[in-house]
Amino acid sequence: MHKAQLIAVDMDGTFLNNEMDYDRRQFADLYPKMRAQGIQFVVASGNQYYQLRSFFAGYPDIIFLSENGGLVRDAQRTYFQSTYTPDVARKVAQVLTALPAVEWLAAGVNGAYVLRSSSDAFITDARDYYHRLQLIDRFDEIDDDIVKFSSHCPAHETAAYVARYHEQLAGFAVPTSSGHGDIDIIQPGIHKARGLAELGAQLDIPLQNMVTFGNGGNDIEMLQEAGLGVAMRNSPQDVLDVADAVTTDNNHSGVLTYIADHILTANT
């Protein structure tokens, strides 16, 4: 591991505690120290850019790798963007719509879109993660470039639906599950490591000089490909297996503690 030039953190289950917050006082102390050492702080999540930005008012230099790497931007600049072609997006929507037990939304560059016929519970949950959310009656109403789809199925059938998506979407979309019935439908080859590589190319920061933190299946690529991949202690075994190091869990500021104890000291 060379000197860290970039730190990328997943949010849910990693940087955020179970109350969907973080130690803001500790972060306020560490952030200027990171910047003083030339470290770029990046939020790398499957969530929407506008939702992620809401956690960091007052930190204009943070870059947000949103939608699992499909959209990388800050308030002024888009570093990388990859979207479905309209035909492929329509095909994914048709597959999802044909499954009665599945609810879904389409995540675009400018907002997210959910069917008005969806359950109140699904719409309410979606608003927590997609701060720009529009209700639609049918997919063809959307006037936006689609980055990914998020779907929800009965929790006990998650594995079966992942297998079904693999079969029905083969060649043009890839399912990735975070468990509990939540399955994202992402573009082939688009994941957090790809987004970091594209960002790194523009910032002249190689993956080898990046430190990544994560706890879920959609973090595996960036944990593997970064110079140092750190898993949370609350991660499942397949994530722990690919990590270079393990820190304490998300409810004990595992990310910030590791940065303070290992990254900032190593950079001095």
Catalytic residues: 10
d(CA 10, CA 226): 14
Whether 9 and 52 have beta carbons less than 8 Å apart is answered as no
For residue 23, what are its two tokens? 């130690």
12 secondary structure, DSSP code? B
d(CA 262, CA 148): 35
For residue 154, what are its two tokens? 């009965």
Whether 112 and 130 have beta carbons less than 8 Å apart is answered as yes
Radius of gyration over alpha carbons of the chain, in Å? 18
d(CA 112, CA 19): 24
For residue 73, what are its two tokens? 């931007």
For residue 179, what are its two tokens? 């468990």
d(CA 45, CA 177): 14
What are the Cα distances from residue 199, in Å, to 72, 195, 205?
7, 6, 8
